[in-house]
Each structure stands twice: as C-alpha cells, then as structure tokens.
Chains A and B, each alone.
Chain A
Amino acid sequence: MSFLELHDVSKTYGDGPSQVHALAHINLEVEAGSLVAVMGPSGSGKSTLLTIAGSLEDPSRGEVMIGGAALSHLSRDDKARLRRRSIGFVFQDFNLLPGLTAAENVSLPLELDGSRSSKAHAMAMQMLDELGLADRGGAFPDELSGGERQRVAIARAIVGERRLLLADEPSGALDSANGEAVMRMVVAACRNGVAAVVVTHDAQLASWADRVMFIRDGHMVDQTSQPIGPESLLAGSSQ
C-alpha cells in the first residue's frame, strides 16, 4: 500500500501574465519501504513537489494523501501534528538548530510531540548510536563535520514513528564518501519500512533509489522501469 500519494497535483504561483506553473498534473505513489528519487534540473519543480508532499504547502489543485489521510481534509493543526509524528525532512544545508547539541536536535521533535524529555533523549541517543554517532551526542552542530551534521539531520528525520522521509539534495554539500554514507542510511531507513522521496539533480545519488522519476518544467516526463538484478552486469562482462 502506498504511504504517500499525489493525485493530479498542480501548483501555480501568481496571477495573469506573471503566473508561474511550478507543477502540472503530478501523480506519484510511494510505498512503505521504498525509495523514490525525483530527478530534475534547478527550477524544474522538484523542491516544490517535496514541500507539497510534506504538507508544508498546499497544491493549487489535486490531492495529497499521507498514510491514507487526504491532506485537504485536515486542519492546519492536524497537518502540523502529522508532520511532527509521521514526516521527517532532510535538507542540503542540514537545518540543525545551532544552540542545541546533536542529541537535543534529534530529541526536539519528540518533545514537541509530547514525549517526556528523558524518554526523548534516550530515543535520540539510540538513533545516533545506530547511525554511528553515539559519541557525538553532546557536540554542537558547529563542532561536527558536514557528514556528521547530515547524519544527525537524518537521525532527527527518522527518530520515533516517522514513516515518511523527504529529502532535498541530502548529500549535495558532501564529498562522495559522506554522500554515500548518507544514502546508505536513507536506504536502511527504507528497509525498516520508511517511505522516502529524495529530490536531486545528482545521478549517483538517484541511483540508490528503487525508482527514479524525471521532472522537467513542472511535468513528470519519464521514470525508470523496475530495475533488473545487478547479476546481468557481471554475466555480460567482456574481457
């Protein structure tokens, strides 16, 4: 069953001659446990798609469903609750709060959602431990490397009962080794049942996805077919 569904979603900004069609008739379904990459150049609409999928913005037309709930039927407060409990966001520039430690950054969404501080802290430390950052929980963002900051951002995005991970160029500012580490974490989260959408212009990053959608000028123009097994690469190798 799809955890995220976009049905005929369009988004326009402005009126009259200055009107901009950011998205046009987008359909997208992401099953629990799968990773979908949306690939396109700057200005193609991929970031707008992500903010609409994450209920940060409303579509001009069409419907977004998360976990079976139609967002158009939810109040502002309901949507905020849905974001806190079910959706994790990861951005290229990490967006960690500089005055909080790594562990506090990760536990913050749990506390905002009503968890006791001690319980939230324990869950945050467990998540950091799983991502290889157990000894960095007390460090502030400016004491972390770029790779560590993004791993903290991913920990914050998937801690608790989050079932949807939305990432905008999550490895864009990192070198290839750290970028790969970040994508391994996203894939691992998906293997644990999280549905994930990564928007990117980076082919290497997109190649981690189960399915890649191509967006151009607000239209979804193409997608990859079901990937065949990698064995064919080895069997067909020439000398």
Chain B
Amino acid sequence: MSVKHALLALLSEGPKYGLQLRQEFEAGTGEVWPLNVGQVYTTLQRLERDGLIRSEDDAPDGPQKGFGITATGEEELDRWLHTPPDLSQPPRDELVIKVLIALRVPGVDVHEVIQSHRRYLIELMQQWTRLKEDEAHFDVSFALVVDAELFRLDSVVRWLDAADGRLKRAESEKLLPGSAGPRSEPGLPKMRRRVGVPR
C-alpha cells in the first residue's frame, strides 16, 4: 500500500499536521492499517524533498509542523489514482504452490490439504464478517476495507473449491501424476507454463 499517496490524498483536502495525518489515515482505512508516527514523518520528509508537499511554516520538525500539497503533488496524486496496479504477472502464490506440491508427495491426501486451508480461510472470513456485523454498518471506509478482504478470501476459497473438483475429475479419469491411466502430454504452450515466473 502506498503511504506516500495516502498522505498526498489527505493533504489534498487542505494543510494538516503530521499527527493529524496519522489519525486521519487510520480513521480513513477503518483502523485496519495502523501507521506509526516515524513512518509518517519519514514519508513527509521524502515528499517535501521531491517537491510534492511543502512545509506551511518554519516550525521545527514535530507534531505542530504543518504541511500542504503542491501543484506537482496534486498532479502526482491524480496520476497515481488513475494508474491501475500491476496485476499482469500472477504472484507466486504460496497456497497454489502447496497444493501443487501436495500432489507430488507420497502419502499426502491433497483433498485433506485443500480442506485444511479452506477451513482456515472460512474461520478468517467469520472474523471479518463479525467486524462487519458489529461496526461496518456505521462506517463506510471500514466496510469497504472489510468487503475487500472478504472478497479476496472468498476468491481463494473458490479457487480451492475449483481445484478440489478438478482434481476429483482428474482422479476419476486417471490423469494425475503416478496414475496408471492415460496422461495428457504436456502440450501447453511455453508461454502458459511460464506464468508467474519473474523474468
């Protein structure tokens, strides 16, 4: 997450002090992402160095020093808001790797591995939903953060469900490694097999 751009966004509303920025940042993210004071001031110093913000006065560094956004800072904020995050390269997902490895390890039931991860994810989702049940109804920022996390976890559960079903079908058709039945030759184009590997 870009603390730099979050601070620029807060300053786009008007000049603010460092401590105020920290409090508003935490409130704006539903207090899900705490921020320490040191990180705020380090980031403010870099922003000032790069000409994206300026000190409002000559006060010494500390909680009473105010900052305002510059025109360059506003341009940078607008550019960042409209630039999609780089999702073109899939990450090396630890869960995907574990399921792939579980397929190869003798004596390991991949469906049990999948189920243990599924259970953990649902338990995590239960906790996030409790937060929504208790508080999010009254705080839009917080609800957005919780929804984002629930949708992210939900997508992982859906992948596990799909993997579970795909593996069952593969088992019934004897297509898994080590099975005696017909195996499809690895005819995938190289481009697909390189997916997720950093260059």
**Complex Cα–Cα for A214 and B116 (A):** 11
**Complex Cα–Cα for A187 and B165 (A):** 31
The yes or no answer to A232 lying at the interface (CB within 8 A) is: yes
B153 & A203 in contact (Cβ 8 Å cutoff): yes
**Residues of chain A in range 60-112 having any CB-CB distance to chain B below 8 Å:** none
User: How many chain A residues touch B (Cβ–Cβ < 8 Å)?
Assistant: 29
The yes or no answer to B75 lying at the interface (CB within 8 A) is: no
The smallest C-beta distance from A130 to any residue of chain B, in angstroms, reads: 17
CB-CB under 8 A from A228, the residues of chain B are 127
**Complex Cα–Cα for A69 and B56 (A):** 75
A239 & B122 in contact (Cβ 8 Å cutoff): no
CB-CB under 8 A from A206, the residues of chain B are 122, 125
Interface stretch among B31-39, B79-87, B95-103?
Answer: B31-39
A239 & B35 in contact (Cβ 8 Å cutoff): yes
A224 & B128 in contact (Cβ 8 Å cutoff): no
A207 & B33 in contact (Cβ 8 Å cutoff): no
**Complex Cα–Cα for A208 and B136 (A):** 14
B127 & A224 in contact (Cβ 8 Å cutoff): no
Number of A-B contacts (CB under 8 A): 77
Q: Mark B97-130, 1 if CB is under 8 A from A, else 0.
A: 0000000000000010001001101110111111
**Complex Cα–Cα for A30 and B150 (A):** 26
- The 8 Å CB contact of A227, one of B39, B127, B134, is B127
**Residues of chain B in range 19-39 having any CB-CB distance to chain A below 8 Å:** 31-36, 39
CB-CB under 8 A from A224, the residues of chain B are 119, 122-123, 126
**Complex Cα–Cα for A221 and B115 (A):** 9
User: How many chain B residues touch A (Cβ–Cβ < 8 Å)?
Assistant: 33
Secondary structure at the B interface, as helix, strand, loop or mixed, is helix
B119 & A214 in contact (Cβ 8 Å cutoff): yes
Q: Mark A6-42, 1 if CB is under 8 A from B, else 0.
A: 0000000000000000000000000000000001010
**Residues of chain A in range 181-239 having any CB-CB distance to chain B below 8 Å:** 184, 187, 201, 203-204, 206-209, 212, 214, 216, 221-225, 227-230, 232-234, 237-239
**Complex Cα–Cα for A41 and B129 (A):** 22
Instruction: Name the CB-closest residue of B to A204.
Output: B154
A204 & B165 in contact (Cβ 8 Å cutoff): no
B123 & A233 in contact (Cβ 8 Å cutoff): no
Once A204-B154, A207-B150, A233-B131 are accepted as A-B contacts, the answer to whether A239 and B126 lie under 8 Å apart by CB is no
The yes or no answer to B183 lying at the interface (CB within 8 A) is: no
CB-CB under 8 A from B129, the residues of chain A are 204, 207-208
B122 & A212 in contact (Cβ 8 Å cutoff): yes
**Residues of chain B in range 128-169 having any CB-CB distance to chain A below 8 Å:** 128-131, 133-134, 150-151, 153-154, 157-158, 161, 164-165
A207 & B125 in contact (Cβ 8 Å cutoff): yes
- The 8 Å CB contact of A204, one of B118, B123, B150, is B150
CB-CB under 8 A from A229, the residues of chain B are 127, 130
**Complex Cα–Cα for A225 and B120 (A):** 9
Once A41-B165, A203-B157, A214-B115 are accepted as A-B contacts, the answer to whether A234 and B31 lie under 8 Å apart by CB is yes
7 contacts between A and B (CB under 8 A): A41-B161, A187-B133, A204-B154, A206-B125, A207-B126, A230-B130, A234-B131
Binding site for B on A (CB under 8 A): 39, 41, 184, 187, 201, 203-204, 206-209, 212, 214, 216, 221-225, 227-230, 232-234, 237-239
Rank and list the top 3 A-B pairs by shortest CB-CB distance, nearest first. Answer: A207-B125, A203-B157, A230-B130
Binding site for A on B (CB under 8 A): 3, 31-36, 39, 111, 115, 118-119, 121-123, 125-131, 133-134, 150-151, 153-154, 157-158, 161, 164-165
